[in-house]
A and B are shown apart, each in its own frame.
Chain A
Amino acid sequence: MAAHDVRDMLDLPDSGSSRPAKKQKLTAPRPVLKGLAREVQNLSGDNPIAIVPEVSAFKKKRYGSRKPVAQWEQKPFRNSARDGDPLVLKHWRRKAERLPAPPVGGDGDGDVEMEGAVASQPEEMVEDSTFAKYNVRVNVPEYTEDEYNAKLQNQDWTKLETDHLVGLAYEYDLRWPVIWDRYEPPLPAPDAADSLLGLVLPPRTRTMEELKARYYSVAATMMAERKPPIKMNSAEFNLHEVMSNFNPTIETARKKFAEAAFQRTKEEAREEESLLLELKRILARSDKLNEERRELYARLEAPPSTGNIGIYSSSQGLQQLLQQLMQASKKRKSLLGNEGISPAAGPSQQASFERRDSSSVRESISGPSGSNNKKGPTQGPSERRQLTEEEERIYGVSHHERIGTSGAVFRHERISKPLISKSSVQQTKIANVLVELDIPNRLIMPTVEVGEAYESLLQSINTLLDARKMADKLDGEIKLARQQKEEREKAARLERGEAIEGDEVGNNKTEKEKEREKSVARSVRGGSVARSVRGGSQGHKRSASVLSAASDKSTKKQRR
């Protein structure tokens, strides 16, 4: 049902005068679908229904509007990469559409009249090949005779050989396998041979490493000669570095390794493959473990409430909190994934601990501005790029030993607090010594010498204190040993049958003394004491037997 039918039914006036006309225009070219009632067709409205495929009949092309056939011609061209060689080849090119005015011919009246000029025209209009620009050659070092004598002398290489090598490098674009293959040491010039008399060595073949080493050394030297390394840009500098650091022995060793790896047997290859597979599996497992651990930490995190709750006292603040909570709960679901993706989270356990400290999720809940700055503290330090050794050299970064890791400090600060010691006890001790020596805590005239002397003094005080500590300790030990010895002698006397006397002696002993004996014995024999305790009833007997057992053992030990 077409739109105007609806209008008809509803008695609506045709909207606007131009519209229906336009519509008719639109519907007019619509193909008439055969086999379909007109009413059915009208139902579709403006969009034609595609039930019956349209049969595309062959249509004759209108020749009137067609462009004339493209014209091609064989155009001569030359190649400027051929070093001025006048080889002119021809290729097919689209004929230019009626040149507006041939620049050389002067009067461009048309092709028909140019017949006479046809012969000369191509000569002048020979174009250059578009491929000439691809003719790129490598830059090889150039040197003069004097430069060679001054800088590039090498007892292993003659100038003739070096020239030959550099020539080959230029010719074969530094393809070393080819250069190595084509390198044939040139025979020395006859006059040189005469001067050397019988010393003409047979031209020796050289390994690729020798060739490379020579070439790189020549190239690096000449590069530095032309432009000092300080003035080079980074690319040049890198090249210079690489070339001057070439080490043929390492290269040879590498090739040997490569050869060994290349000639693996089948079993070795299979073993290596299986090992690699195993490694892969282990890594995968450790990854999985780390992930699980991270998840565990994420769950165990206690919420550090660092935020200020004052902000939530207003209704606006509460609204904000609610929103944050909603977001957080959403985030919680994808917590694991987020953590995995986050670049700040390292795979190691250490990283996950750090991460726990600066927790992202909880902070975002507790702090009002959590989600915005949560990555700030964790990412900040990692973003500061660490310079590699090479870069430091390029940028001229140097480190001073005086400046520690804590950064630059004023030297006078060392005067104000010269005592750097671990414990405050030690510090007070040192201070006491200084007081004893009548030296003020703060130097009055801190010159370099005085400072050094002061420092050495402190050093020796330190050693002195240490020595005293040691002496005290030793003293204590000696005392202890003496006591033990006395006890032992006493015990020995007891053993020698002076039981009654011993009893008396034992009875005379105060409880305190007994206790001490016991502890000494314990300290001597340790745990064996308990075992050697027999089921004695009296305290003194017990102590005696303990001691005897102890001495028994000690004598045994001595005998041994």
Chain B
Amino acid sequence: MAASQPLTSRLTYTAEASSSSYSPRRINIANHCPTTDEVSAIILDPGYSSVRAGFAGEDTPKSFVNSHYGVSDAGKFTFGDDAIHNPLAGLDIRNPMSKEGIVEDWDTATQLWEYAITSRLTSFKQSDPRINGLNDPSELAMDIEEVEEGERTLGEHPLLMTETAWNTTKNREKAIEVAMESWGCPAFWLARNSVMAAFGGGKATSLVIDVAPPPPHVQKSPIAGNWLSSQLRSLFSSTEPRVNLVPHFAIASKTAVDAGVPAQATYRKYENKIPDSFRALEEERVLTEFKESVVQVWNGMGRLNTVNANGASNTDYVKTLPGRTFEFPDGANQMWGVERMSVAEGLFDERAALPVPNEPALTKAQTIPEMVRQSLAAVDIDLRPHLLGNVVVTGGTTLINGFTDRLHNELTAMYPGARVKIQAAGLTAERRFGSWIGGSILGSLGTFHQMWISRKEYEEFGVNVVEKRCK
């Protein structure tokens, strides 16, 4: 059962969604849509790279905070993109989450999430209705003292949190403890983020392929956004001329050079050594930029190294295509031809994956098509065509050019008899925040309010109520 557990959790029971006429796609604010009933619930979707938080019923999270945080020498924590990209001497960059999306450092994670919520959501309070002039002035004479009642972070907001499918019982219990004890939520719910991604795609049952910094949820596999970064690093170290990855903060000035020529830049000197973790974070940003602008997935027929009848492989064809130039922060620039496709080929073809030092080579079972195959094999035959007809693609890495086409090609080649339909949100934000949007839909459904774990239930049954209810 263990093998099928991550997948079948996708079929998670959603009485609240199916018992009403569930119209998921667009969320109508407030009372226009009869299925929604806003209770100003907060949706918190923490991940390895970022924490998303916002009110239920909105279409994008209001608060988007980098999961990395800085710790100064004095032990002071700094959160958020505004603070952590400062090259300070003692600033150590850490992340409370493991790369698998599981919380490792609960104290900091709590602080980080609290920052994500309070910085954008609850601390920005609407001015008191008695003084903002929107209401009947006859009601002005009320007690002002009551305004200060919200000393607890989420005193009046139910909290819906997402988790990975492989979250541990201990972690789940800790989550409800934090929500109830530290934040004082009136109600709490823990939802699987893959299920939420399916909801965000408008499906009640679907096969979710989430390629985002936390690894894909179909089956666990290391390939994901960070894996692609490591592929890029090994690509840079193997190309000729060798690419020297220097992040922006280390560059004082640069001069334009021709393609392929070593960079001529003056580097910034820091008196104190900048921690390696900070440099890694900044390098990651450059890599992200590279991924966004250069990397592409081969989306023609077959695989990149497939040889067609004429004896010419797709690689040869790609070589004839115009490449793309990318200028690194130090001014070095280069034309990227076939490399920009071959670097992402490992997502689909384990033999094309570049070797990454200190990491085991990618196995066949870890590629996306193979994971889909395993997932499908784990479920009942009656469900398989249905799942293939509802493939929801989510996660930032899926935004790489050609990813969806390639996935469709691979799946139709694998299951020629079945109808494969891929549901990929067209908007970047919807793709990146798929699971948050699903949570937003769920949290604003009128029929969901019977599901919340209320404070009273928590007090009555203790922390393990979350195991009993959220399954």
A132-B450, A171-B13, A262-B381 known; A269 and B456 CB under 8 Å? no
Choose the segment among B92-100, B269-277, B341-349, B414-422 that binds chain A (4+ C-beta atoms closer than 8 Å). Answer: B414-422
B37 contacts the other chain (Cβ, under 8 Å)? yes
- A-facing mask of B20-37, CB < 8 A → 1, else 0? 100000000011000001
Which of these, B38, B156, B415, B457, contacts A262 with CB under 8 Å?
A: B415
CB distance from A248 to the nearest CB of B (A): 14
Which of these, A69, A181, A264, contacts B8 with CB under 8 Å?
A: A181
Q: Would you call A177 and B381 a contact (CB within 8 A)? A: no
Q: Would you call A263 and B417 a contact (CB within 8 A)? A: yes
B382 contacts the other chain (Cβ, under 8 Å)? yes
B257 contacts the other chain (Cβ, under 8 Å)? no
Which of these, B31, B136, B142, B382, contacts A115 with CB under 8 Å?
A: B142
A135 contacts the other chain (Cβ, under 8 Å)? yes
Q: Would you call A131 and B4 a contact (CB within 8 A)? A: no
Bound form: Cα–Cα A92–B8 in Å: 37
Bound form: Cα–Cα A371–B402 in Å: 67
Bound form: Cα–Cα A112–B141 in Å: 8
A87-B454, A91-B39, A135-B450 known; A261 and B417 CB under 8 Å? yes
Q: Would you call B38 and A92 a contact (CB within 8 A)? A: yes
B413 contacts the other chain (Cβ, under 8 Å)? yes
B11 contacts the other chain (Cβ, under 8 Å)? yes
Q: Would you call B38 and A91 a contact (CB within 8 A)? A: yes
CB distance from A69 to the nearest CB of B (A): 7
Most buried by B among A88, A134, A178: A134
Which of these, A90, A131, A265, A272, contacts B450 with CB under 8 Å?
A: A131
CB distance from B447 to the nearest CB of A (A): 5
Interface residues of B in 118-145 (CB under 8 A from A): 134-136, 138-139, 141-142
A90-B40, A134-B20, A269-B416 known; A177 and B158 CB under 8 Å? no
Which of these, A87, A93, A259, contacts B186 with CB under 8 Å?
A: A87
Bound form: Cα–Cα A87–B380 in Å: 38
- B-facing mask of A130-163, CB < 8 A → 1, else 0? 1110111000000000000000000000000000
CB distance from B367 to the nearest CB of A (A): 19
Bound form: Cα–Cα A248–B447 in Å: 36
B1 contacts the other chain (Cβ, under 8 Å)? yes
Bound form: Cα–Cα A134–B14 in Å: 13
A131-B20, A269-B416 known; A180 and B380 CB under 8 Å? yes
- B-facing mask of A87-104, CB < 8 A → 1, else 0? 111111100000000000
Closest to A183 in B: B1
Chain B residues with Cβ below 8 Å from A205 are 1
B19 contacts the other chain (Cβ, under 8 Å)? yes
Q: Would you call B380 and A131 a contact (CB within 8 A)? A: no
A85 contacts the other chain (Cβ, under 8 Å)? yes
CB distance from B217 to the nearest CB of A (A): 16
Bound form: Cα–Cα A172–B380 in Å: 16
CB distance from A491 to the nearest CB of B (A): 78
Q: Would you call A79 and B8 a contact (CB within 8 A)? A: no
Closest to A81 in B: B450
Bound form: Cα–Cα A268–B415 in Å: 11
- A-facing mask of B371-404, CB < 8 A → 1, else 0? 0000000011111110000000000000000000
Q: Would you call A79 and B450 a contact (CB within 8 A)? A: yes
Closest to A110 in B: B138
Q: Would you call A85 and B457 a contact (CB within 8 A)? A: yes
Chain A residues with Cβ below 8 Å from B454 are 82, 85-87
Q: Would you call A131 and B384 a contact (CB within 8 A)? A: no
Q: Would you call B416 and A173 a contact (CB within 8 A)? A: no
Q: Would you call B417 and A268 a contact (CB within 8 A)? A: yes
A266 contacts the other chain (Cβ, under 8 Å)? yes
B12 contacts the other chain (Cβ, under 8 Å)? yes
Bound form: Cα–Cα A172–B471 in Å: 10
Q: Would you call B139 and A111 a contact (CB within 8 A)? A: yes
CB distance from A65 to the nearest CB of B (A): 19
- B-facing mask of A266-286, CB < 8 A → 1, else 0? 101110100000000000000
- A-facing mask of B254-273, CB < 8 A → 1, else 0? 00000000000000000000
Chain B residues with Cβ below 8 Å from A130 are 37, 446
A541 contacts the other chain (Cβ, under 8 Å)? no
Q: Would you call A136 and B19 a contact (CB within 8 A)? A: yes
B15 contacts the other chain (Cβ, under 8 Å)? yes
Which of these, B5, B141, B417, B449, contacts A269 with CB under 8 Å?
A: B417
Q: Would you call A265 and B416 a contact (CB within 8 A)? A: yes
Which of these, A88, A178, A255, A258, contacts B11 with CB under 8 Å?
A: A178
Which of these, B11, B416, B449, contacts A181 with CB under 8 Å?
A: B11
Q: Would you call B452 and A87 a contact (CB within 8 A)? A: yes
Bound form: Cα–Cα A524–B40 in Å: 109
Bound form: Cα–Cα A123–B379 in Å: 48
CB distance from A64 to the nearest CB of B (A): 18
Closest to B136 in A: A71
Chain B residues with Cβ below 8 Å from A182 are 471
B354 contacts the other chain (Cβ, under 8 Å)? no
Closest to A87 in B: B454
A134-B19, A255-B382 known; A262 and B417 CB under 8 Å? yes
Closest to A208 in B: B380
A131-B449, A178-B11 known; A91 and B37 CB under 8 Å? yes
Closest to B386 in A: A177
- A-facing mask of B442-466, CB < 8 A → 1, else 0? 0001110110101111000000000
A92-B30, A175-B11, A255-B381 known; A181 and B1 CB under 8 Å? yes
Bound form: Cα–Cα A261–B385 in Å: 11
A129 contacts the other chain (Cβ, under 8 Å)? yes
Q: Would you call B382 and A131 a contact (CB within 8 A)? A: no
Closest to A135 in B: B450
Bound form: Cα–Cα A269–B381 in Å: 18
CB distance from A127 to the nearest CB of B (A): 12
Chain B residues with Cβ below 8 Å from A269 are 416-417
Q: Would you call A178 and B416 a contact (CB within 8 A)? A: no
Closest to B412 in A: A266
Q: Would you call A89 and B19 a contact (CB within 8 A)? A: no
CB distance from A297 to the nearest CB of B (A): 43
Which of these, B20, B380, B446, contacts A177 with CB under 8 Å?
A: B380
B53 contacts the other chain (Cβ, under 8 Å)? no
Q: Would you call B381 and A87 a contact (CB within 8 A)? A: no
Chain A residues with Cβ below 8 Å from B418 are 262
Q: Would you call A89 and B39 a contact (CB within 8 A)? A: yes
Q: Would you call B384 and A262 a contact (CB within 8 A)? A: yes
CB distance from A365 to the nearest CB of B (A): 55
Q: Would you call A89 and B187 a contact (CB within 8 A)? A: yes
Closest to B37 in A: A91
CB distance from B34 to the nearest CB of A (A): 8
Bound form: Cα–Cα A184–B8 in Å: 14
Bound form: Cα–Cα A408–B134 in Å: 87
Given A90-B156, A258-B381, 14 extra CB contacts under 8 A: A87-B187, A87-B454, A87-B456, A89-B158, A89-B452, A93-B31, A129-B446, A135-B447, A178-B8, A181-B5, A182-B471, A262-B385, A266-B413, A268-B416
Which 5 A-B pairs rank lowest in CB-CB distance, beginning with the nearest? A87-B454, A131-B446, A81-B450, A264-B417, A181-B8
Chain A interface residues (CB < 8 Å from chain B): 68-69, 71, 79, 81-82, 85-93, 111-112, 115, 118, 129-132, 134-136, 171-173, 175-178, 180-182, 184, 205, 208, 255, 258-259, 261-266, 268-270, 272
Chain B interface residues (CB < 8 Å from chain A): 1, 4-5, 8, 11-13, 15, 18-20, 30-31, 37-40, 134-136, 138-139, 141-142, 156, 158, 186-187, 379-385, 413, 415-418, 445-447, 449-450, 452, 454-457, 471
5 A–B contacts from the bound complex (CB under 8 Å): A69-B134, A93-B31, A129-B37, A135-B450, A258-B382
